[in-house]
């Protein structure tokens, strides 16, 4: 069987990579991709703890379902916002949207 | 080293490499495709955790909807199809340091705690049925479930409203 | 255990003993057996396409008052083989500045995704992977087929292909919603997501219990395959050939095969979910009969698809999206609620009693929908009468340039 901490380390690595993506990317959609990676890392943790600590209960799975729903909602609103922003500024590169800096 | 562990390690390497390319590749469409590979790797992790339902949901929701929508958004929000120039902000190395420190810290914490290498029990055959019942059980998770459905509805309406083209304004 | 009643088990046992006799370990033998089964199913599916191509060309030809292929072999039966040889010998052309790896992966991804659906189809009783979320799995791997088309459209570096990719996203993501909702009705009635379980629960075929759900499933599936009347992604008259405009040789052939295979796979799934799968007289005693029954049922559904293809013209994209979001999706939701509520009230009925009550309610809902559609159509006609009178040009004429502008 796979030790529990293997999953946790992979999830931590995935989260860190996502964090790096969110902080370093300039394009808004790329930032959203980083957020997705982080959400997935969290979900791996939730399901891993469910599997190893409490497989007979439903708490871990229920949390995970909510994370899926929130991720879907977040992406749909986020992408809609980007499209609206693109329409106004003709770019979604975050450091070119500098109307407030004038 | 058992067969499961070998599968796990291969999946981990592929997933992390794909995730790394997602955040580093300058071509955004390629980034989205690497993201799809990373998400598929996560689905394999779910399958390894005996959560087949979540593995399939991962593919349906993330790859079938979210990643394809992202490809769509990338195509819609540009004037030319190629990405030119730097895609990272000037202080990307701060982000790299932060990510590395975070990873080191979390790993140190994980290693500091004694964690089991074996699950406490097998997954019951009825786990998905139990989940379904728990989600609509007043003593279970009916309120989070309803809040999540309201959130999805709000997101649906909000997305349509925000991205709507107002022709006559 | 005779050859007639359990031929597949017999072959599998023989192979297993053979491999074990060679001194292979138990685990390796199992892996090898799965591998052989996968290769057999995939080859069977892909080989079957050769016949489908001939069949479809012949049928569509007859519908269009042509003869169809008739030169190579009796009734033109060998025509697909001739085409195959021709297409294999053709060069694979890579467009300038195409994204080469993606360009190659795209058709393979599409074909592989469709063959992956075959992994969970219960071909005969007791055979086929019994996967407890199989119904959802068929939707999940379908996403990879969509992805293949998008990749093809993007990597070709061609604007028509790109337009096709956009249309694909809009069409396939939208039509996934009614497909899933309609698919949930048999899942609900059977109380399981395992396709084997759904077939076993169909003492009465679910087309009797849920005819409208079957209709929605069929329409939405045709849209997912992207065939006429929903062939906007390859609309020859608008965007030349859509996503596969730049493809040639075997890469194009893979798309072509994938398209036919997808159409037949949809028929297969429709047969499993609504037409009783392998069920038929004597199928339990002689499972191989089940395969024949399933094949016939799948073929009937496939034929209806070809029939529709040969009959209807292409829809406009706004009509298509309206049809999905304003008609199919609400109707599928109503049917889902109907199935859930009515089935709860009918606990303890005999299978046929339950089936007839469901059928009556479905007919009632269908009549209401038709009445509503009529009323809507009449109202729309009153509000926006067609500009053309009978005998005139059927579409509103484009605005003519003003007379003085012409004289300049």
User: What is the model's pLDDT at position B62?
Assistant: 87
How far is it, in rounded angstroms, from Cα B91 to Cα B99? 13
Kindly report which listed range (A86-95, B147-156, B160-169, C375-384) carries the lowest average pLDDT score: B160-169
pLDDT of residue C1 exceeding 50: no
Residue B83 has a pLDDT of 62
Q: How far apart are CA C131 and CA B53, in angstroms?
A: 10
Interatomic CA distance for residues C175 and C319, integer angstroms: 13
Q: Percent of chain A beyond pLDDT 90?
A: 15
Q: Is the pLDDT of residue C82 over 50?
A: yes
- With CB atoms and an 8 Å threshold, state whether A21 touches B45: no
Question: Which pLDDT does position B41 carry in this prediction?
Answer: 92
Assembly ipTM: 0.86
Q: Kindly report which listed range (C97-101, C112-116, C273-277, C402-406) carries the lowest average pLDDT score.
A: C402-406
Q: Which CATH architecture has domain B1-83?
A: Up-down Bundle (1.20)
Q: Which residue from B minimizes the CA distance to C137?
A: B56
Query: In terms of DSSP H, where are the helices of C226-328?
Result: 236-239, 249-274, 287-311, 317-322
Neighbours of B159 (CB within 10 A): 21
> A27 has which bridge partners?
A93
CB C198 within 8 A of CB C187: yes
Specify the length of chain C in residues: 408
Q: State the DSSP string of C300-325.
A: HHHHHHHHHHHHPPPPPHHHHHHIII
Q: Give every CB contact of residue C406 below 8 A, 6+ residues apart in sequence.
A: none
Is residue C364 pLDDT above 70, yes or no?
A: yes
Number of DSSP helices (H) and strands (E) in chain C, helices first: 16, 0
Q: How far is C289 from chain B (nearest CA, A)?
A: 32
pLDDT tens for residues C248-261?
888 888 888 888 88
Q: Do chains C and A touch (3 or more CB pairs under 8 A)?
A: no
pLDDT band at C407 (very low <50, low <70, confident <90, very high): very low
Mean pLDDT of chain C, nearest integer: 81
Q: Which two three-digit tokens encode residue C364?
A: 């009632």
- pLDDT at residue A23, as a whole number: 87
Which pLDDT band holds residue C210 (cuts at 50, 70, 90)? confident
Mean pLDDT of C330-345: 86
| Phi–psi pair at A25, nearest 5 degrees | -75, 150
Report yes or no: B29 at the C interface, CB cutoff 8 Å: yes
The mean per-residue pLDDT over the stretch C296-309 comes to 89
Please give the DSSP secondary-structure letter assigned to residue C126.
T
Q: Is A96 on the interface with B (CB under 8 A)?
A: no
pLDDT at C386 over 70: no
Higher-scoring residue by pLDDT: C315, B155: B155
C88-127 pLDDT per residue, tens: 888 888 888 777 888 888 888 888 888 888 888 877 665 5
DSSP characters for C18-46?
Answer: HHHHTT--HHHHHHHHHHHHHHHHHHHHH
Report the share of chain C in percent with pLDDT over 70. Answer: 90
Which pLDDT belongs to residue C398? 59
Query: Taking CB atoms and an 8 Å cutoff, what residues of chain A touch B86?
Result: 26
pLDDT of residue B14: 92
Average pLDDT on A71-90 reads 85
B56, B68, B69: residue with CB nearest C140: B56
Minimum Cα–Cα distance from B38: chain A residue:
A37
Find the CATH number of the domain harbouring A92: 1.10.287.3510
At least 3 CB pairs under 8 A between chains B and C: yes
Q: Which residues of B touch A21 (CB under 8 A)?
A: 22-23
Q: Which domain holds residue A71?
A: 4-101
What's the confidence (pLDDT) of residue B13? 92
- Nearby residues of B27 by Cβ (< 8 Å), 6 or more positions away: B82, B83
| Closest residue to C150, CB basis, from B59, B65, B68 | B68
Q: Distance between CA A95 and CA C351 in Å, rounded?
A: 65
Which of these ranges, B41-55, C27-41, C247-261, has the smallest mean pLDDT?
A: C27-41
The tens digit of pLDDT for each residue in B90-102 reads 788 888 888 899 9
How many separate helices (H) and strands (E) can be counted in chain B?
Answer: 7, 0
Residue C190: other Cβ atoms inside 10 A: 19
Best of A9, A18, A25 to mutate (most B CBs within 10 Å, chain B):
A25
pLDDT tens column, C142-199? 888 888 888 888 888 778 888 888 888 788 888 888 988 888 888 888 888 888 888 8
Instruction: Return the higher-pLDDT residue of C238 and C315.
Output: C315
pLDDT in tens, A1-58: 788 888 888 999 999 999 998 888 888 888 889 998 999 999 999 888 888 888 888 8
Domain count, chain A: 1
The confidence score (pLDDT) of residue B80 equals: 63
B-chain residues near A14 (CB < 8 A)? 15-16, 19, 38, 42
The answer to whether A51 contacts B50, with C-beta atoms less than 8 Å apart, is yes
pLDDT for res C65: 85
């Amino acid at each position: 069987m796979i030790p529990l901490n293997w999953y946790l380390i992979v999830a931590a690595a995935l989260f860190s990579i996502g964090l790096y993506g969110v902080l370093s990317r300039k394009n808004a959609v790329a930032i959203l991709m980083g957020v997705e990676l982080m959400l997935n890392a969290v979900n791996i943790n939730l399901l891993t703890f469910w599997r190893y600590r409490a497989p007979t209960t439903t708490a871990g799975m229920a949390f995970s379902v909510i994370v899926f729903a929130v991720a879907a909602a977040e992406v749909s609103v986020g992408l809609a916002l980007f499209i609206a922003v693109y329409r106004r500024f003709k770019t979604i590169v975050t450091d070119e949207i500098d109307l407030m800096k004038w | 080293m058992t067969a499961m562990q070998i599968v796990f390690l291969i999946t981990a390497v592929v997933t992390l490499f794909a995730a790394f390319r997602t955040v580093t590749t300058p071509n955004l469409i390629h980034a989205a495709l690497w993201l799809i590979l990373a998400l598929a790797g996560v689905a394999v992790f779910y399958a390894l955790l005996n959560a087949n339902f979540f593995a399939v949901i991962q593919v349906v929701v993330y790859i079938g909807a979210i990643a394809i929508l992202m490809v769509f958004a990338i195509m819609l929000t540009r004037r030319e199809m190629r990405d030119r120039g730097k895609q990272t902000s000037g202080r990307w190395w701060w982000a790299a340091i932060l990510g590395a420190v975070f990873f080191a810290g979390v790993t140190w914490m994980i290693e500091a705690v004694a964690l089991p290498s074996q699950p406490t029990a097998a997954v019951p055959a009825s786990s998905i049925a139990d989940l379904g019942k728990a989600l609509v059980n007043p003593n279970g998770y009916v309120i989070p479930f309803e809040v999540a459905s309201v959130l999805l509805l709000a997101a649906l309406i909000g997305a349509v409203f925000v991205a709507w083209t107002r022709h006559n304004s | 255990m005779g050859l007639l009643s359990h031929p597949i088990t017999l072959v599998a046992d023989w192979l297993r003993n053979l491999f074990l006799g060679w001194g292979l370990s138990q685990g390796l033998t199992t892996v090898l057996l799965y591998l052989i089964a996968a290769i057999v199913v995939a080859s069977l599916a892909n080989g079957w396409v050769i016949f489908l191509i001939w069949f479809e060309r012949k049928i569509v030809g007859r519908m269009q008052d042509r003869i169809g292929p008739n030169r190579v072999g009796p009734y033109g039966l060998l025509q697909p083989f001739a085409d195959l040889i021709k297409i294999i010998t053709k060069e694979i052309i890579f467009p300038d500045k195409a994204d080469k790896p993606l360009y190659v992966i795209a058709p393979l991804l599409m074909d592989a995704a469709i063959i992956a659906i075959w992994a969970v189809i219960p071909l005969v009783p007791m055979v086929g992977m019994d996967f407890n979320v199989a119904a959802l799995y068929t939707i999940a791997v379908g996403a990879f087929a969509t992805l293949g088309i998008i990749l093809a459209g993007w990597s070709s570096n061609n604007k028509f292909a790109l337009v096709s990719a956009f249309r694909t996203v809009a069409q396939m993501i939208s039509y996934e919603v009614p497909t899933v909702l309609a698919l949930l009705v048999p899942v609900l009635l059977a109380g399981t997501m395992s396709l084997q379980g759904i077939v076993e629960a169909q003492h009465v075929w679910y087309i009797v219990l849920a005819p409208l759900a079957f209709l929605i499933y069929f329409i939405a599936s045709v849209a997912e395959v992207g065939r006429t009347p929903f062939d906007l992604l390859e609309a020859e008259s608008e965007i030349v050939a859509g996503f596969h405009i730049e493809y040639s040789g075997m890469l194009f052939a893979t798309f072509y095969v994938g398209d036919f295979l997808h159409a037949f796979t949809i028929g297969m799934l429709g047969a499993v979910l609504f037409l009783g799968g392998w069920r038929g007289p004597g199928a339990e005693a002689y499972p191989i009969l089940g395969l024949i029954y399933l094949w016939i049922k799948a073929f009937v559904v496939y034929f209806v698809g070809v029939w529709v293809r040969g009959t209807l013209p292409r829809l406009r994209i706004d009509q298509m999206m309206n049809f999905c979001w304003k008609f199919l999706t609400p109707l599928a939701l109503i049917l889902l609620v109907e199935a859930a509520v009515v089935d709860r009230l009918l606990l303890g009925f005999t299978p046929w009693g339950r089936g007839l009550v469901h059928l009556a309610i479905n007919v009632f809902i269908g009549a209401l929908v038709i009445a509503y559609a009529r009323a809507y159509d009449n109202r729309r006609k009153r509000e926006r009468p067609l500009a053309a009178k009978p005998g005139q040009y059927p579409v509103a004429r484009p605005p003519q340039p003003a007379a003085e502008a012409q004289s300049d």
